[in-house]
């Protein structure tokens, strides 16, 4: 591995770690000696990379370093493009525009080899679904509520036509082939539920934020509905 490539790989490894990594583990992953690893870290630090290290604990990359998309390999480029094109097919209008904007930014800075992967990918998304039912509510507003952990009061109609009014803690939006669903903790049911967005007649913030961290709720929902993390969730049909 060329030295420049190795330095970039070292930064990428550190970027993907949330906890300190020992010099030994880093050296093994890069297939170099610890002496070489120490020298590489010293060089990166001298060039301004925010790498913090502590004896006996390891190294961690502090926030503040931007790695441009031109560093993407051909496989990484195809993975990103596949995901963005999937969003363009199945996301709402705001997400579709965001995907197109992101793809344009990536295309502007890709290397020639990665440009080929962008223009002629080997991986393509499947055909779009038959169309999504119309929503009475704004999905962008749902995403804002999710990000701010705002409680929502919704008027919901189930598959049988029964209407209920509930206070929920929105956790995530799911985009499937022919439907979109809101994952939430339901106060009245005291449990996780998924609500098809086309069956939500109204959704208003209550003015309260739910306690705790959204990430914890999301983990709880995954543990309850998808313990093997291998099955896709389906909307609530109750």
Q: Where are the alpha helices (DSSP H) in the chain?
A: 3-15, 23-30, 34-46, 74-90, 93-109, 112-119, 139-148, 214-225
Would you state the pLDDT for residue 183? 93
Q: What percent of the chain has pLDDT over 90?
A: 33
C-alpha–C-alpha distance, residues 118 and 127, integer Å: 19
The model carries a pTM of 0.61
Count the Cβ atoms, other than its own, within 10 Å of residue 121.
Answer: 16
142 contacts 170 by C-beta, under 8 angstroms: yes
What region, left, alpha or beta, does residue 70 occupy, with left being phi > 0 and alpha being psi -120 to 50 degrees? Answer: alpha
Q: Report domain 139-225's class.
A: mainly beta
End-to-end CA distance of the chain: 57
C-alpha–C-alpha distance, residues 38 and 24, integer Å: 10
CATH topology of domain 3-61: Arc Repressor Mutant, subunit A (1.10.10)
pLDDT digits (tens, 9 = 90+) for 140-176: 899 999 999 999 999 999 888 899 999 999 999 988 7
């Amino acid at each position: 591995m060329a030295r420049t490539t190795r330095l970039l790989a070292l930064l990428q490894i550190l970027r993907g770690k949330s906890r300190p990594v020992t010099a030994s583990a880093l050296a093994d992953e890069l297939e170099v000696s610890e002496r070489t690893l120490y020298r590489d870290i010293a060089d990166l630090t001298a060039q301004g990379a925010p790498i913090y290290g502590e004896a006996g604990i390891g190294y961690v990359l502090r926030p503040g370093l931007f790695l441009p998309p031109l560093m993407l390999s051909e496989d990484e480029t195809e993975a990103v493009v596949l995901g963005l094109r999937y969003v363009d097919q199945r996301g709402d209008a705001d997400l579709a525009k965001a995907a197109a904007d992101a793809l344009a930014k990536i295309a502007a800075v890709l290397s020639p080899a990665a440009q080929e992967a962008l223009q002629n990918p080997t991986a393509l998304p499947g055909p779009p679904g038959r169309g999504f039912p119309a929503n009475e509510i704004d999905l962008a507003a749902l995403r804002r509520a999710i990000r701010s952990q705002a409680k929502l009061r919704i008027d919901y109609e189930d598959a049988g036509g029964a209407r209920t009014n509930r206070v929920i803690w929105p956790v995530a939006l799911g985009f499937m082939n022919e439907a979109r669903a809101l994952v939430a903790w339901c106060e009245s049911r005291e449990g996780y539920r998924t609500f098809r967005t086309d069956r939500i007649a109204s959704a208003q913030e209550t003015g309260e934020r739910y306690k705790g961290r959204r990430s914890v709720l999301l983990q709880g929902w995954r543990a309850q509905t998808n313990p093997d993390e291998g099955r896709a969730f389906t909307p609530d049909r109750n």
